[in-house]
Structure 1
Amino acid sequence: MISVENYTTHTLVIKKSEFICHLIPCSQIEQAKQLIEKYSDPQATHNCVAYIIGTHERAYDDGEPSGTAGMPMLNVLKMQGLTNIIAIVTRYFGGIKLGAGGLTRAYSQSVSQALKEAKIVEKEPVDLYTITIDYTYTRKFEHLLKVQHIQCIDIQYLEQVCYQCYIRDLDFLKQIQELTNNQFEAHKIGTDYIKKDV
């Protein structure tokens, strides 16, 4: 699947109206509402939304004339073959009306231009694990992470050290077993879409 690697924003000004596009990677439909609230400005005239997350699609005009904002934005995402992405275009009205055709062009253009600035990558589903080990093994384990190019997204120093890592190949767990004399715990906590290894 193809998506944006990171959050990207782009501003477009048309006839004094400001259109700010936010592109947000999102692979869990349960997170969509929270992310839309986070990146929408309640002070803005409109916050129009389009997203494709797995099999879920949505287009929302937020008070703009029906079909002039959400659907044109969604069509841009579809034409680019993107998925697991939310596009929000926040509009601050500048006092000059654009008409239906002008609005459709403005919202489409806003998303298209933001996508030109975004880094588009191929992503794949990868399992996320919590790995818990004793402090005595941390240096060796962190060296192993580096050598095997394992992406670690969080470390917590508690009674033992807890690492959150994306693991593509379960052979890695055997390597930890050898490294720690089987004194470790590994629990799968979910699956996420991350950039594919080239």
Structure 2
Amino acid sequence: MTEPYLTIAKNTTYEQTIKKSRFICSIARVSSEEEAQQFIASIQAVNKKATHNCFAYMIGDNDQIQRESDNGEPSGTAGIPILESLKLAKIHNVVAVVTRYFGGIKLGAGGLIRAYSNTTTEAIHQAGLIQRIKQAILKITVTYALHDPLLYYLKENNLEVAGEEYGVNVETSIYVNETDLKNVKEKLINRFNNQLQITEGDQRFNEIPY
């Protein structure tokens, strides 16, 4: 992906009252459509007496799966505004359910669109955002004589040590952003005159506040 992979930092619930109607947005991270449907069902179960439980979700690195529902509200006044709020925040693998308890005053189509959109946006702000960066583990094998210089180099270049194993030589594992892999490898090889061995290990997602 060309853009940062963003998602919410935590699951949260945000509530506001608009012209006596209660709007409650429950937002959560999910990794599959099945998880999204389970979350929607759980919110519906908790809010059985609500007038509406409208929702939208986007799943996949490129938002391949997108669904939305007005759940009885006039067509296009709830599900799409919720979905558009998720898109505007550029977040991925997220489901949002906006529950409405009708307060007796009709809002009109424009009022409903604003209410569902704004409630979702405020929930996103409350949840906070994190950036997920794909990293690989590089395993660097060096002699004991080069171990301290290697650790010094890693510290100077802000490369996080994941762990170490001691045997005939020392194997130091570090986390490296996938986009930096080639550059980091080349610099290590040049700095230590090709006197180290580098192998690529597992991958992980590192989450940092955005």
Which TM-score tier does this pair reach, normalised by the shorter chain? 0.5 to 0.7
Correspondence for 1:25 among 15, 25, 29 = 29
Shift of 1:123: 2.0
Structure number with larger C-alpha Rg: 2
Q: Residue in 2 aligned with 1:142?
A: none
Kept in 1: contact 2:14–2:119 (CA 8 A): yes
Q: Residue in 2 aligned with 1:76?
A: 85
Shift of 1:29: 2.0
Q: Residue in 2 aligned with 1:168?
A: none
Q: Residue in 2 aligned with 1:39?
A: 43
* TM-score, scaled relative to structure 1: 0.64
* CA–CA distance in structure 2, aligned partners of residues 51 and 82 of structure 1: 10
1:53 equivalent in alignment to 2:62: no
1:98 equivalent in alignment to 2:107: yes
User: Aligned residues, how many?
Assistant: 142
* AA in 2 matched with 1:80: A
- C-alpha offsets along residues 63-89 of structure 1, whole Å, 9 cap, x if unaligned? 000000000110111011111000110
Q: Residue in 2 aligned with 1:62?
A: 71
Correspondence for 1:117 among 106, 126, 130 = 126
Unaligned runs of 5+ in 2: 137-161, 168-202
Q: Residue in 1 aligned with 2:207?
A: 195
Q: Secondary structure at the match of 1:123?
A: strand
* CA–CA distance in structure 2, aligned partners of residues 193 and 47 of structure 1: 32
Change (3 A) 1:44 1:3: same
Q: Secondary structure at the match of 1:112?
A: helix
- C-alpha offsets along residues 128-171 of structure 1, whole Å, 9 cap, x if unaligned? xxxxxxxxxxxxxxxxxxxxxxxxxxxxxxxxxxxxxxxxxxx8
Q: Secondary structure at the match of 2:49?
A: coil
Q: Secondary structure at the match of 2:75?
A: coil
* CA–CA distance in structure 2, aligned partners of residues 197 and 110 of structure 1: 22
1:8 equivalent in alignment to 2:12: yes
